[in-house]
Amino acid sequence: MKFEIECAHLRRIAGFANSVVPRNSPQPILANVLIRAEEGSASFFATDSFVSVDAKVSVAVARAGATTVSASVLSEIARKMPDDTDISFEYDAASERLEIKSGSALFQLPTLSAEDFPIISESEGAVVFELPFNELKRLFSKAKIAVSTDETRRYLTGVNLRATVSSSGPVLRCAAVDGTQLALVETALPDGIEEIPSVIIPIKAVNEILSVLDQGDQAVRISLSGNLAVFSTLFASVSARPIEGNFPEYERLIPRANEIRLMVDASLMARAVNRVATVSAEKSRSIRLVMEDGRLQLSVNAAEYGSAEEELSVSYSDSRFAIKFSHRHLLDILGLMENSNAIFRLREGAAALITDDDDDDATFVVMPQRI
């Protein structure tokens, strides 16, 4: 195997591979990236057995072949090379070493056989459709704020994808819930698709999709089945084994009967929350909102850290209402609504329904904290 690749390409691809490989695995070869060179292109494949990334780049191939090499070392080498250089790869089968050269720098790296590398077979999914990358990005980046990090509840550590029917008709819906907040983001169901199996895409795969496939607003081909989800463009693909488990039936968690309405500039509120939360006690992380006569008062009162309050002009005409939220939840949600208004629908003793005035297809539900 022998080819040359631009440093910028290698840096990007090796970075993807390095973020996927497991840090500690009983299978040493999983710490490696599989490099394959064939007619005019080189591909770099890395996996942790659950999530895989395969990125291809056009290169001049002098000799086809394949080998595997440490993903972290390759990423580090690419990171330290000057930008505008070409890097040559040459695998010597006799010594089983991969030689990487750029200018006068030479690395000879140990390899493991490409034949031993575990590749997840990508048979066609039960459902295949396409979405523009920017739409997929909107779905995933908004839904993922509610993904749980709790590894004892694995079924909450991903984004659920399913077809359903909303008030606007058949939709593809992404949902995430962590016990105290729920995010739902929808887009029109692609033409010709009626059923989509309910799958939970692990957050690691979601993050890889958002970075690896971010190469302009090209079409992303999505192939879903019960045991494999593949998201691919012409030059890269991310595949994942969906998380086993039953995603919560979240419809009943949406407080559609909330009648108290508050509308506020999302950016102004986010900045105010951030300022006031400076003195929030680490354990409670809560912020109190009091709304009355077109005004919203945000306050924190923590014995150890002090107190803070700030007031905003808002659109609010109901009677005085007070509620407490985690400031982290508020910041995450408001941060998705730049240059827009956030609409809160509230009710005594109920979760808050929060929507973006500019995006009817994204809904957030946040549980209050005890006052």
Partner 1 sequence: MDEGQARTDAEVFDIAREPSMRPENFFVSNANRTAFELIADPESWPKRKLAIVGEACSGKTHLANIWAHRAGAKIVPARQLDSVEIRAMGDLPGVAVDDSDAVSGSGALEEALLRLHNVVAECGGHLLLTARAVPSRWNIALPDLKSRLAATYVVSLGKPDDELLEALLIKHFSDRQIFVAQGTITYILNRIERSCQAVQSVVAALDKLSLGRGRPLTRAVASELLSEAGQSGLA
Q: Which residues lie near partner 1 (CB under 8 A)?
A: 148-155, 177-180, 182, 245-246, 248, 250, 253, 280-281, 283-286, 300-305, 324, 326, 351, 367-371
Question: Is residue 145 classed as helix, strand or coil in its secondary structure?
Answer: helix
Task: Write down the least CB distance from residue 367 to partner 1, Å.
Answer: 4
Looking at the Cβ atoms of 120 and 174, the one nearer to partner 1 is 174
Q: How far apart are CA 119 and CA 315, in angstroms?
A: 55
Task: Write down the least CB distance from residue 370 to partner 1, Å.
Answer: 6
- For residue 153, give every residue at least 6 positions away whose Cβ sits within 8 Å of its Cβ, in sequence order, or none: 179
Q: How far apart are CA 67 and CA 2, in angstroms?
A: 11
Looking at the Cβ atoms of 272 and 351, the one nearer to partner 1 is 351
Looking at the Cβ atoms of 154 and 275, the one nearer to partner 1 is 154
> Mutual orientation of helices 327-334 and 266-276 as an angle, nearest 10°?
150
Task: Write down the least CB distance from residue 179 to partner 1, Å.
Answer: 3
Category of 194 on φ-ψ map: left (φ > 0), alpha (ψ -120 to 50) or beta: alpha
State both tokens at 167.
């008030």
Task: Write down the least CB distance from residue 346 to partner 1, Å.
Answer: 13
Q: How far apart are CA 81 and CA 103, in angstroms?
A: 10
Looking at the Cβ atoms of 343 and 367, the one nearer to partner 1 is 367
Task: Write down the least CB distance from residue 123 to partner 1, Å.
Answer: 28
DSSP for 56-86 reads EEE-EEEE-EEEEEEHHHHHHHHHHS-TT-E
- For residue 313, give every residue at least 6 positions away whose Cβ sits within 8 Å of its Cβ, in sequence order, or none: 294, 295, 296
Task: Write down the least CB distance from residue 118 to partner 1, Å.
Answer: 24
Looking at the Cβ atoms of 65 and 248, the one nearer to partner 1 is 248
Looking at the Cβ atoms of 195 and 244, the one nearer to partner 1 is 244
